[in-house]
Each structure stands twice: as C-alpha cells, then as structure tokens.
Amino acid sequence: MASRLHVADSRPEDWVYVSEGGATIVFSYRGTENPHFQGRVLRLRKTALSNNDTGHSVEEEPDDPMIAFQRDVISCIVPQAFLPDLDVILLNESWLGAIECLRNSDRPQERWKKDKIDKRRRKGVLATNLVGGEGIVAVEIKPKWGFLPREHHLSPQTVSTKTSTCRFCMHTYLRSQEGAFPTDYCPMDLYSRNETRMVKAIHDLWNAWVRSDGSLNNFRIFVSGKVIKPSHHDFHDVPIGPPDTGVSSSFNSGFIKETLMENLMRLLLDTRVLDIISTLQRTLDELDIEGLSKLCSMSKADLASMVAGPTPEDWRDFIRCYQTSYCTWDHANPDPKNIKHYLMAYLLSATFKDCSIILRFNQGGGSLSSHSVSIIDLDPKPMNKLGEWEELDRRIVEGYRAGGQQKRCAP
C-alpha cells in the first residue's frame, strides 16, 4: 500500500471488539465511510495493567514485526491463500484512549483485569477481517501440537511418556491439577486425517466450549463478526441451516451443533491446512527441546542464556537452508555447527504450535470454494523464551509422570 493508513481517519465508534489473545486485542470496522478499512480488523498490542509507563514512544517506531515475518518468512513456507493481508496502520494515543473507554467493557473480565491497550504504540496492524460479514459463521480453532517427538534425544526418564502422550494432553493434565477447565480434546485426533478421530476432536472441542461457556482459547464461534457464547441468547439465532428451513429462528441446539460439526468436517477434510501446520511443527522441531538443549551444551551455551533474536538476513538464510539442505541433515546426530539453524527452526516451530485457524462458512451451505480457511497469529517468538520452554517441558512431563498418567495419543 503506497501511502500509510492512519487510524485517526476513522472514528473509534466505528470499531467494535472482536476478540483477544495474550498479546493483542482485535477490533473490526463497522463504519461505512473509509473504504480502506472495510472488511478489515485492527490488531493492537497490549501491555500489563500494572505498566504505568506514560513516557513518549520512540519517534521512529519499527513496524509490527509480524508484518515482515509473514512477508519474508511465513509466506515462503505457507501458501498465500491461507494468510490474511496485513498492513501497517499509524496510531495515536488519544484515539487509542477513546477506543479503550468505549470498548473495555466488551472484554472478558479475566483479560481487562490483567492488561490494556498499549497506548504508547504508534503502529498497529490492519488485517483481513476473517470473521466478518452478514450471515457468516466462522469457527476459530487453536489446534496446538500435532506430533509426538522422535526418541533420539529424549532422556531415559521422559522417552516412554513423550513418545506416547502428546504435549497438549500432558499440559492439559498439569493445568487441570492447577484448577483449569479439563478438556478431552487431543490435537493428535484433529490432525490424524482419520474421519472418526477428527469428528471426536471437534466434538471434544465443542463439549469443552459448552462446559466452559466459551472461555477456553482453543475454540470460538463467530456469527456475523461477533463471538457467541453457549449461554448467550444470540446462540439461538445461529444462521446455520439452509435459509428456507427457518432453522435460525427455531432454536434447536442439537441441530445447530450437528450442522456446524458437519460443515466443519467437510471443510477440514477438504483443506490441507492441518497437514501444513503439523508438518511444519514436526520438521522444524526435529530434536525436541531436550535435544536442542544438549546441542547447546555441546557448544558451551545454555538455552536460558539465548537472547539475541535472528535478524531478517538470518531468517532469509534459514529459509534457504530449510528449503534445501535441512532435510538431508542427520537429525539423530546433529552437527553442532548447525546450532543457529536448529535454534531458529525451533522458534519457527513454536509459532506454528501456537497459531490458530479460522474456518468461514456462508449461510446455507454453498460450494466448498465459497468457504475459506486461514491461519492467524503467526507472530515470531523471541529467543529468550527458549529457557522457559525447556523449564515448562520439564514441569509438564514430570507432573504427568508423577500423576501416574499413561494416555496413549495415537500418531
């Protein structure tokens, strides 16, 4: 886009709350006046509520790193059709203050108690609105880790557990011990390409969605751009059947569930998106965090001390390597001279382990091509997370083993 977009070319009232994650909050444009904003969402960075830093932001703030990362890295390994368009949008503090006042009450309590829009930012992201449109039903799934690690680099203590139970199921167990909502969802079922297991996966996501009243972060349903909760009245008006059936006015939750699940299954069986995500997760994480840690020790370093993030040139170099020689390396005996690329591969794998997909259906069915599938939240992960991931992996596996759990997650 030649000239820069400015959020102040729209009114805060023209933007409505869509949803948020741990790091960002998203609003969609409902105005009619600015064609640049039609069909788009505004993705803004958040900061901790306790952060009272009111100092001025840097004059030349860099663009949100997600934009260059999608352009230079992600789009080399994920087909463009799955990616939303992203543009830089200029922000200003008073406009951000105004939208915060207007929309803070639309946010879930557990979020507004913790964080707020980072009003010092001068740049945000404008992206394709993947959930908007009258009569559009969109489902967001955060599928998480879709593979079991190879045994090469696992310790004798962890090998049998980590090659039997997937990381998500072990993490769910740990979280349930800490009081979180339990879920039966297993990503290995969703990624399995086996219809029966995939049906089970989406039913498990649905059931946890209902039990938690939509508060989990791995399954969301949007109708005409607005998130719905199982307990909301608007759930009764999901326009899910063919228009002439009158389904949307005669509420029948069983029917809505079955029809939605059927549509989801059709789309999931038709798309390569899950294959693409799990293949990238697995091939970029050939060593497991345990193997990566050992490789680091061989180079006289430790994961917790890794801080310097890769430069754009490093990423270009990595992508070239990933698309050529990387697959010929002997990952069972990794060469310490390749440590940098193994670290970058792990970072990139982490992005795909944490992304979400959005599946859109037009009201009343329609051909598969009139529906769409996209991947969101493909942010780069920072190098200084490696130490945390190593520690979290240890806690997850130890907690699982200590609890005497032995679930088998079939590959």
Ligand X SMILES: Nc1ncnc2c1ncn2[C@@H]1O[C@H](COP(=O)(O)OP(=O)(O)OP(=O)(O)O)[C@@H](O)[C@H]1O
Ligand Y SMILES: O=P(O)(O)O[C@@H]1[C@@H](OP(=O)(O)O)[C@H](OP(=O)(O)O)[C@H](O)[C@H](OP(=O)(O)O)[C@H]1OP(=O)(O)O
Interacting residues toward ligand Y by CB under 6 A: 21-23, 142, 217, 350, 354, 381, 385
Distance separating alpha carbons of residues 83 and 75, to the nearest angstrom = 8
Give the residue with the Cβ less far from ligand X, 130 or 247.
130
Distance separating alpha carbons of residues 407 and 208, to the nearest angstrom = 19
| Three-state secondary structure readout of the chain | CCCCEEHHHCCHHHEEEEEECCCEEEEEECCCCCHHHCCEEEEEEEEECCCCCCCCCCCCCCCCHHHHHHHHHHHHHCCHHHCCCEEEEECCHHHHHHHHHHHHHHCCHHHHCCEEECCCCCEEEEEECCCCCCCCEEEEECCCCCCCCCCCCCCCCCHHHHCCCCHHHHHHHHHHHCCCCCCCCCHHHHCCCCHHHHHHHHHHHHHHHHHCCCCCCCEEEEECCEEECCCCHHHHHCCCCCHHHCCCCCCCHHHHHHHHHHHHHHHHHHCCHHHHHHHHHHHCCCCHHHHHHHHHHHCCCCHHHCCCCCCHHHHHHHHHHHHCCHHHCCCCCCCHHHHHHHHHHHHHHHHHHCCEEEEEEECCECCHHHCEEEEECCCCCCHHHHHHHHHHHHHHHHHHHHCCCCCCCCC
Give the residue with the Cβ less far from ligand Y, 267 or 348.
348
385 binds, among ligand Y, ligand X, none (CB under 5 to 8 A by kind): ligand Y
Give the residue with the Cβ less far from ligand X, 138 or 256.
138
Minimum separation from the CB atom of position 70 to ligand Y (A): 15
Binding window for ligand X (CB under 6 A); candidates: 29-37, 123-131, 254-262, 294-302:
123-131
Minimum separation from the CB atom of position 246 to ligand X (A): 29
Binding window for ligand X (CB under 6 A); candidates: 13-21, 50-58, 97-105, 188-196:
13-21
Minimum separation from the CB atom of position 300 to ligand X (A): 33
Minimum separation from the CB atom of position 142 to ligand Y (A): 6
45 binds, among ligand X, ligand Y, none (CB under 5 to 8 A by kind): none
CA angle 167, 188, 71 (to 5 degrees): 80
Distance separating alpha carbons of residues 332 and 155, to the nearest angstrom = 14
23 binds ligand X (CB under 6 A): yes
140 binds ligand X (CB under 6 A): yes
Minimum separation from the CB atom of position 70 to ligand X (A): 11
Give the residue with the Cβ less far from ligand X, 105 or 249.
105
Minimum separation from the CB atom of position 239 to ligand Y (A): 28
Binding window for ligand X (CB under 6 A); candidates: 20-28, 154-162, 206-214, 308-316:
20-28
393 binds, among ligand X, ligand Y, none (CB under 5 to 8 A by kind): none
127 binds ligand X (CB under 6 A): yes
Could you tell me which of 342, 408, 409, 396 has the C-alpha nearest to residue 158? 396
Q: Mask: binding to ligand X, 168-187, rule CB under 6 A, as x and -?
A: --------------------
Q: Mask: binding to ligand X, 32-71, rule CB under 6 A, as x and -?
A: ---------x-x----------------------------
Give the residue with the Cβ less far from ligand Y, 51 or 217.
217
Give the residue with the Cβ less far from ligand X, 18 or 383.
18
Binding window for ligand X (CB under 6 A); candidates: 23-31, 71-79, 100-108, 271-279:
23-31
Give the residue with the Cβ less far from ligand Y, 10 or 19.
19
Could you tell me which of 101, 126, 121 has the C-alpha nearest to residue 28? 126
Task: Tell me the residue number closest to ligand X, measured at CB.
Answer: 21
The first and second tokens of residue 198, run together, are 């995939």
351 binds ligand X (CB under 6 A): no
Minimum separation from the CB atom of position 66 to ligand X (A): 8
Q: What is the binding site for ligand X (CB under 6 A)? A: 18-24, 26, 41, 43, 84, 127-131, 140, 220, 354, 356, 376-377, 379
